[in-house]
Amino acid sequence: MRHLMSPLDFSVEELDALFDLANDIEKNPKKYEHACEGLKLATCFYEPSTRTRLSFEAAMLNLGGKVLGFSDANSSSAAKGESVSDTIRVISCYADICAMRHPKEGAPMVAASKSGIPVINAGDGGHQHPTQTLTDLLTIRSMKGRLGNFTIGLCGDLKFGRTVHSLINALMRYEGIHFVFISPEELKIPDYITEKLKEAGITYEEVISLEDVMPKLDLLYMTRVQRERFFNEEDYVRLKDFYILTVDKMEKAKEDMLVLHPLPRVNEIAVEVDDDPRAAYFKQAQYGVYVRMALILTLLEIEVA
C-alpha cells in the first residue's frame, strides 16, 4: 500500500504518469465519473482549510465516491486526547483512503505507519503540502508545456512558506531551471535550501525588488505572508504588504509569463490583475482537483479503461 507524504515520494517518471492521467481526466471527465463508486474518502482536518478540504472532496465526488470526515480538531476525538495512531486505525475501518491535515509536523507520517488505508498528507504544519506541489507542477506542465528550462521567480514569504520549499525541492529534479528568490531580508529563503541548490549546481539569485526582475521571469509564484506562522504579531503587520503585484508591474513582464499563487490571496495580488490572461491562479485551483483525482485513483490502484 502506498501513501503520499512528500512530493518526492514519486519519481519523475511516476509524476509524469500522474500528470498524464490528470490531463486525461481534464479532457474526458465523463470517463472517470464512476471510477470510485462505492468507495469513501475520509478528510481528517485537524486545522481549518476549506480550500484543500473542498478540493479533495470535489475530487472524490467527481470520481463517483463518497466523503466523510471532520474539519477541525475540536469536532474530532483529538479533543478528547486520542492519538493520531488510534484515530487512523479507526478511520481505516470506515473509509478506503484518507486525506489528513494536521498542525503538527509529521502527524500524517505517524498515521501512515499505523494505517490500513492509503494516507495523503494534506499539509502538516510548516513542513510539507505535497498535493499543493503536485498542483503547481501540473499547472506549469499543462500551461507551459514543459517542466524545466525556465526562470521562475518566487516572491513573498520564502522563509516559512512550505509551498515554496516543497516546489523548489520538486523542481530541482528538472533541468535548466533558474530560481529568482524575491523577499524582504526577514523572510529570506533558508540557507539549507540555497546550499542544496549550490551542491546540485542549480543557479539562483536573491533580490528584494520584484519590479526589477519582472522582465526576465517565465513564471512568477506569489505567496501570502501567513499570520499563523508568526509568533510575533508586530512582525506580521510590518511584512504582510511588502509585495503587491499590480497591473503596472505586469506591464514589465513577458507576454507569456504565468502568475501562480497557492491561494488564498490577501493583498499580494491586486484584483485588477485577475483579468490579465497571464493570471493562472484560478486555473491552478482547477488543476488542484484534477491532480487530486489522479492521485486518489493512483493510490487506490484503480485503472479506468
Partner 1 sequence: MLNVGKIEEGFVLDHIQAGKSLTLYYNLGLDKKDCTVAMIMNAKSGKMGKKDILKVECDIDDLNMDILAVVDHNITVNVVKDGEIVEKKELVLPKEIHNVFKCKNPRCITSIEQGLPHIFVLADEKKEVYRCKYCEEKYSQRVKTVVQ
Residue positions annotated with a catalytic role: 51-52, 80, 101, 129
Q: How far is the CB of 102 from partner 1 (least distance, A)?
A: 7
Q: Which of 41, 109, 119, 154 binds partner 1 (CB under 8 A)?
A: 109
Q: Which of 2, 31, 34, 104 binds partner 1 (CB under 8 A)?
A: 104
- CA dist., res. 156 & res. 63, Å (int): 36
Q: Which of 59, 97, 107, 177 binds partner 1 (CB under 8 A)?
A: 107
| Binding span for partner 1 by CB under 8 A among 96-104, 147-155, 173-181, 271-279 | 96-104
Taking residues 241 to 270 in sequence order and writing x for each that binds partner 1 by CB under 8 A, - otherwise, the string is ------------------------------
Q: Which of 23, 24, 39, 126 binds partner 1 (CB under 8 A)?
A: 126
Q: Residue 267 corresponds to which cell in the numbers above? A: 493583498
Instruction: Find the binding residues for partner 1 in span 35-94 (CB under 8 A).
Output: 83-85
Whether the bond between 264 and the residue before it is cis, its omega within 30 degrees of 0, is yes
Q: How far is the CB of 41 from partner 1 (least distance, A)?
A: 22
| Binding span for partner 1 by CB under 8 A among 63-71, 119-127, 143-151, 246-254 | 119-127
> Burial code of 199-216, b = ≥16 C-beta within 10 A, e = fewer?
eeebebeeeeebeebbee
| Binding span for partner 1 by CB under 8 A among 16-24, 101-109, 203-211, 213-221 | 101-109
Q: How far is the CB of 176 from partner 1 (least distance, A)?
A: 26
Contacts of 66 (CB under 8 A, 6+ apart): 39, 40, 41, 60
Q: How far is the CB of 83 from partner 1 (least distance, A)?
A: 5
| Binding span for partner 1 by CB under 8 A among 52-60, 88-96, 102-110, 260-268 | 102-110
By CB under 8 A, residue 102 contacts partner 1: yes
DSSP, residue by residue, 198-245: HHHT--EEEES-HHHHGGG-SEEEE----GGG-S-HHHHHHHTTS--B
Instruction: Find the binding residues for partner 1 in span 190-229 (CB under 8 A).
Output: 192
What residue ranges in 118-199 does DSSP mark as E strands?
A: 119-124, 150-155, 177-182
152: left (phi over 0), alpha (psi -120 to 50) or beta: beta
Q: Which of 8, 58, 64, 125 binds partner 1 (CB under 8 A)?
A: 125
Q: Strand 219-222 vs strand 150-155: parallel, antiparallel, or unpaired?
A: parallel
> Burial code of 74-93, b = ≥16 C-beta within 10 A, e = fewer?
eebebeeeeebeebbeebbe
| Binding span for partner 1 by CB under 8 A among 125-133, 138-146, 171-179, 256-264 | 125-133
Give just the sign of the alpha carbon dihedral 68, 74, 80, 85. positive
Give just the sign of the alpha carbon dihedral 55, 158, 221, 240. positive
By CB under 8 A, residue 299 contacts partner 1: no
Q: Strand 177-182 vs strand 204-207: parallel, antiparallel, or unpaired?
A: parallel
Q: How far is the CB of 47 from partner 1 (least distance, A)?
A: 12
Q: How far is the CB of 85 from partner 1 (least distance, A)?
A: 8
- In the sheet where 219-222 sits, what is the strand order? 204-207, 177-182, 150-155, 219-222, 258-260
The residues that touch partner 1, with contacts defined as CB under 8 A, are 83-85, 102-107, 109-110, 124-127, 192
